[in-house]
Structure 1
Amino acid sequence: MKSSSKKGLLMKSLLSFKRLTKHSVTTFIAHYLSLIIILAGIITTFSFAIMGSNKSDAELINVAGSLRMQSYRLIYTMEYEPEKVDIGLRQYRISLHSNPLVTIHHHLLTPGDVKQSYSDLVRRWQEMENLARTNQQEQYRNQITSYVNQLDQFVYSLQRFAEKKVIIAVLVIILSMLLIVGIASYLIWHTHQEIVKPLNQLMRASTQIEMRQFQHILLDTKRDDELGRLAKSFTHMSNELHKLYANLEEKVTEKTQKINQVNRSLAMLYYCSQELSASDLNRNKLLHVLKHVMATEHLRAFELDLIELRQWNITLGEPSVALSWQEQTIGSEDNKLGSLRWQAGLPCPDTRTMENIAQLLGRTLYFNQTQRQQQQLLLMEERSIIARELHDSLAQVLAFLQIQLTLLKHNLNKDDDKAKRQSLLIIKDFEQALSDGYIQLRELLATFRLTVQEANLKLALEQVVDSLRNQTDIQMTVDCSLPSQTFNPQQLIHALQIVRESTLNAIKHSKADLIEVIAHTNEEGEQELIVRDNGVGIASLNEPDGHYGLNIMQERSQQLNAKLTISNRATGGTEVKITLPNTLA
């Protein structure tokens, strides 16, 4: 089967090649060019033949002209040199029967009258030769005139024959040239009609194809020559290009629509991310975000169902009974926060987009929940610190005052002078305790009122230091090279409280003229917060009664999981250093 099919294809190819060769434009042009070459060869050959014939005609005329002179010379020879008559007759005979004159009878183109004239001339000369040989001078003279006239007539016939040949040659050349011009003109016309015009049509069609006009001018595809096959191939190619281009346009349009949809989805996701992370989360913000998602993704109905925050549940659109609901879980399987349900419109939303929306909502809700828990824990920690500090400071002062007040009442019931002196001492201690309690209360209030207005660590440190500049004339500087991402907002509060307490202690007790606040990375790669002065140093790390600043600093360092070090500097002064762990708790 395969061999027979191959043979069939081979035979079809051979037949097509033969048909193409038979009707080929190049074959047609080659035939006419060959015909022109043949005609030119014929003209050239004929021209050479005429030239050769004209050369023999000139020789004939010369020979015939010499016969007249020889015939007249014989009269002189017969009269004055009779012994030379035979020589003259012999020379005349040689000239009369010379090769150019003899060949007249054998030349096909020589007219009959010329041949007859030559034959009559030969017969007449035989009569004249007998008169000359018998020395009949008078008769020879009487007939020489008619003989010469006959000879002139022969020369004239030769001349007319030569002229006729020239005229025939000119006519043949002219006719041949006209024929060549006609053939060349026809060839040019045929070339213009069969080659130039189809090529111009192909050029116009190719220009239209270049301008994406695939419905180009009609080409002659029924011809059996090369241009017909070229036109057929070109038309087939343009049809295929039209189909391919239309398919590409459809694909480009489809891809463009998909890209636009993806861009809208990305823009929508970015907008939702910005809205959900801009400020505190609430139901109105969720409602605004879900409306934007519904409009962007062409949803018919949209529902948000939260497990713990039922008051935030949202329903949008008008659900249709004929449409099915699609659902996406918010959160993870272990910590399911709720679900998204929607009915799709046209065009249908991408499932991945809805998954991203659910993940975004899940992260936002989880972050909001975690943030609230952290705020609650921070609040509880701050309340615990406040309660502890109040218990360790003001509570003890109040207990002391209560005891002193009881003693004062007991002494007031006595009227002796010793009781009065003791009462005055109790009142003095009472005043001192009240003064110390008031001071401790102000310190605690200043400590717990500290807030963070800047997320930038350097600016926050500068704000803490600036808030203390009005309490002293000591020069204070801030040098911070740590990134702002070192602390989260809760950790930053503890760090700033430690810096404030250290700076405040240096202002009160150091007697220094320079306080430096430094946040940097040390040579071991550890991050440090340092407050140091050039004052008198610290005598003891044991905090005096009624002061709790060092204890608070130690507790805050524990909250940061950091190491607190308080030491005297070798050059003088005190250094408070917090060494931070690589990862803050």
Structure 2
Amino acid sequence: MRNLKNGFSSSLASTISVALVSIIALGLLTIFSLMWATDQTDQDAQAVNLSGSIRMQTYRIGLATAQQRSDQAQQYIQQLDDTWQHPLFIHQRRASDRDLLSQDFMRAESHWREVLRPQFDALLTSATAAPKAAPEQSSFPTAQIAEQLQLTEKLVTGFQQAAESKIRLLRIIQLTALFLTIALGAVIFNLLKTRLEKPLAQLTDAASRIGQGDYGYQTQVEGNDELALLGSVVNRMSHSVETIYQDMDDQVKRRTQELHNNNIALEFLFETARKILSSYQQEINYQQLLDQLAEVIGGDIRLELCLFTEQGDRPYMHIAQANGEITDCSQRDCKSCVGDKPANTQSAADYAFPITREDTGYGVINCHAMSQLQGMDPTPLEQWQENLLRSAADQFALALSLSVHRNQQRRLAMLTERTVIARELHDSLAQALSYLKIQVTRLQKSIDTEAFSQQQPIVDELRGGLSSAYRQLRELLTTFRLKIDTGGLQSALELVVSQLRERSDMQASLHYELTNLPLSPTEEIHLLQIIREASQNAINHSLGSELDIHLFQNEDQWIQLLIEDNGIGIPDKAEKTNHYGLAIIQERSRHLNGNIEIATRPEGGTRVAFAFRPSFLNG
């Protein structure tokens, strides 16, 4: 192929390069010619304008002189002198071989400087010497002004003709470039059509035929250039593709079967994972999963599942697939299956897949070949079957690990609940009973000393203490029954407000603005208890008609709780009046590391303001 490339008599790339260079050269020549022509006409308009202004200035000088306005006439003369000395006229003044335009310019300028200007100067001088004397008609240079205007008109005409001639030259250059471009374009178009378009059409047709499945199609590209070489390559390629296609067809069939097997395995693993995650609070049906796994594996393979405790040496669960018999390993130490049967042996009868997670063993999946049990040579597991069994063992390990984790969570929940009950009893009921015990001791001493006058106040204290203890017991029962269901804190608060409306005449309203903020279960429970206790105190003691509950996040991103009523306000020593209600509120606020303020509002009623920083802001 390299020899053929070096032997091109007429390279297509060289031909295109020459055509492009020709087009670029013609374009550059045209551009530079037009730039030169336009540069020649750059100041023609200004020259016409300046030469035309000379006529107007000559008129103004004559008019000012005739009206004896010497100062103005002198100013006009100076302006005209500056115009004749304009840098634009340097070319006409310095030209060695003076053309007609330069000669017209020199005649007009000479007439002004040598003839007309001295006469104006003389008239202006005489007018200055005798201001009241009118200039004589015979002395005014009328003929010279007319001659100056005639020379100036001829100069303007010369500038105009010079500009027009340059424009004609510009048009000639444009027309010449146009004809040359058309001629060169026609040549290049014909060259590309015969040497590029036709061979490309043949190659495109060959590619289309090959793409449609005619892999043996052969194209005929004439010539001795790159496209001819490409045509020969396409012919060889079509033959190679036809050969490769047969091999690929066989490979695709094998890959399709592998993908089908992998897809079945993935569906099984996905369904298994879904069942494990969706039945987190329930027990897994391992028999059903094992039957489904055996159905996916197929073949003459029988599966068994053995599950162990961490310390046990015998399986607490031994399951075989449906219509399968359990082997003798159920009657012996099955843990040997994990160590004695590696998963990479040659026989399917020797496969065992341990069920382990985080260095904890939960059991093993045993794989037996039915052909070996029937005295025939066993068939080894395919790679996808081995991978599926190993992944299924990992899924079973995950399910068993989640089951262990669930049991641990239940134990922790029970311990936490008992701790909360013990703390609530200690903080409320135990204190009340201790107080009653002290009063009983006082009563006993009054009986021993026969101080009968002191017994009645002690009995009254005992009666009040018993009532307080009974009330606290009821509050504890309400607290222990209190729960936050799937509706969250908002649903629980709405239920509390609904119960308050049913048990009192106060108009209770809830303004909940924490819909988009996550709160931990502990924060939700304490907030619910604080709101319930403060609202109950307002209903029992405020004697008001309205109760507003606001829960929102303030500018500092703290959770803000406001409970306000329009009652009589909070009395002095409210702790003794309401027993332990306010103490319970303050205790729960300390658990949330928050700030609580209970005070009488200036407009009347009581305000309970509580703020704390939610745990999700701590990262």
Residue 582 (structure 1) aligned with residue 582 (structure 2): no
Equivalent residue in structure 1 for 2:399, among 361, 370, 374: 361
Equivalent residue in structure 2 for 1:301, among 303, 306, 309: 303
Write the mapping of 1:483-562 to structure 2, written as runs, cut at 5 A.
483=515, 486-539=518-571, 543-544=575-576, 547-559=579-591, 561-562=592-593
Q: State the 1:252 CA deviation.
A: 5.4
Q: State the SS of the aligned residue for 2:576.
A: coil
How many Å separate the matches in 2 of 1:309 and 1:235? 73
Equivalent residue in structure 1 for 2:470, among 429, 438, 460: 438
How many Å separate the matches in 2 of 1:529 and 1:253? 68
Write the mapping of 1:255-404 to structure 2, written as runs, cut at 5 A.
264=264, 267-285=267-285, 288=288, 292=292, 295-296=295-296, 300-301=302-303, 303=305, 305=307, 307-308=309-310, 313=317, 315-317=319-321, 322-327=349-354, 329-330=356-357, 332-333=358-359, 336=360, 338=362, 341=365, 343=367, 345-346=381-382, 347-350=384-387, 353-354=391-392, 357=395, 360-361=398-399, 364-365=402-403, 367-389=405-427, 391-396=429-434, 399=437, 402-403=440-441
Q: State the SS of the aligned residue for 2:508.
A: strand
Please give the TM-score of this superposition, normalised by the length of structure 1. 0.50
The one-character-per-residue Cα deviations of 1:477-505 (angstroms, maximum 9, x if unpaired) are 22233257723445533332222122222
How many Å separate the matches in 1 of 2:366 and 2:407? 25
Q: State the SS of the aligned residue for 2:598.
A: strand
Please give the TM-score of this superposition, normalised by the length of structure 2. 0.48
Equivalent residue in structure 2 for 1:566, among 571, 582, 597: 597
How many Å separate the matches in 2 of 1:284 and 1:348? 23
Distance 1:491 1:582, change over 3 A: closer
Root mean square deviation of aligned Cα: 5.3
Write the mapping of 1:394-433 to structure 2, written as runs, cut at 5 A.
394-396=432-434, 399=437, 402-403=440-441, 430-433=462-465
Distance 1:204 1:528, change over 3 A: closer
How many Å separate the matches in 1 of 2:561 and 2:289? 42
Q: State the 1:208 CA deviation.
A: 7.9
CA contact 2:365–2:393 (8 Å) conserved in 1 = no
Amino acid at match of 2:433: A
CA contact 2:547–2:564 (8 Å) conserved in 1 = yes
Amino acid at match of 1:301: L
Q: State the 1:556 CA deviation.
A: 3.5
Amino acid at match of 1:523: E
Distance 1:325 1:340, change over 3 A: closer
The one-character-per-residue Cα deviations of 1:308-362 (angstroms, maximum 9, x if unpaired) are 59687554447887332233531x24xx364654549554253784586267437
CA contact 2:356–2:394 (8 Å) conserved in 1 = no
CA contact 1:404–1:430 (8 Å) conserved in 2 = no
Aligned length in residues: 378
Q: State the 1:451 CA deviation.
A: 1.6
Distance 1:452 1:238, change over 3 A: same
Q: Which residue of 2 aligns with 1:53?
A: none
How many Å separate the matches in 1 of 2:553 and 2:424? 32
Amino acid at match of 1:348: Q
CA contact 2:272–2:289 (8 Å) conserved in 1 = yes
Q: State the 1:242 CA deviation.
A: 3.6
Distance 1:540 1:238, change over 3 A: farther
Q: State the SS of the aligned residue for 1:531.
A: strand
* Percent of aligned positions that are identical: 23
Q: State the 1:450 CA deviation.
A: 0.7
The one-character-per-residue Cα deviations of 1:157-215 (angstroms, maximum 9, x if unpaired) are xxxxxxxxxxxxxxxxxxxxxxxxxxxxxxxxxxxxxxxxxxxxx9999998665476x
Distance 1:230 1:537, change over 3 A: closer
Q: State the 1:544 CA deviation.
A: 1.7
How many Å separate the matches in 2 of 1:548 and 1:235? 99
How many Å separate the matches in 2 of 1:287 and 1:548? 56
How many Å separate the matches in 1 of 2:456 and 2:578? 23
Distance 1:239 1:455, change over 3 A: farther
Q: State the SS of the aligned residue for 2:531.
A: helix
Q: Which residue of 1 aligns with 2:488?
A: 456
The one-character-per-residue Cα deviations of 1:526-552 (angstroms, maximum 9, x if unpaired) are 233443434444345762278323333
Q: Which residue of 2 aligns with 1:44?
A: none
How many Å separate the matches in 2 of 1:482 and 1:249? 62
Q: Which runs of 5+ in 2 are unaligned?
A: 10-202, 221-228, 328-346, 368-379
Equivalent residue in structure 1 for 2:501, among 458, 462, 469: 469
Distance 1:499 1:280, change over 3 A: farther
Q: State the 1:400 CA deviation.
A: 5.8
How many Å separate the matches in 2 of 1:238 and 1:365? 62
Q: State the 1:581 CA deviation.
A: 3.7
Distance 1:405 1:326, change over 3 A: same
The one-character-per-residue Cα deviations of 1:249-302 (angstroms, maximum 9, x if unpaired) are 556556656665665555545444443343554544555556555655668535
How many Å separate the matches in 2 of 1:255 and 1:522? 61
How many Å separate the matches in 2 of 1:337 and 1:556? 44
Deviates more, 1:496-505 or 1:549-558: 549-558
Distance 1:383 1:250, change over 3 A: farther
The one-character-per-residue Cα deviations of 1:229-252 (angstroms, maximum 9, x if unpaired) are 999988754443344445555565
Q: State the SS of the aligned residue for 1:486.
A: coil
Q: Which residue of 1 aligns with 2:74?
A: none
CA contact 1:526–1:581 (8 Å) conserved in 2 = yes
Distance 1:231 1:350, change over 3 A: same
CA contact 1:528–1:580 (8 Å) conserved in 2 = no
Q: State the SS of the aligned residue for 1:325.
A: strand
The one-character-per-residue Cα deviations of 1:502-536 (angstroms, maximum 9, x if unpaired) are 22222223334333333322101223344343444
How many Å separate the matches in 2 of 1:540 and 1:246? 99
Distance 1:205 1:570, change over 3 A: same
Q: Which residue of 1 aligns with 2:37?
A: none
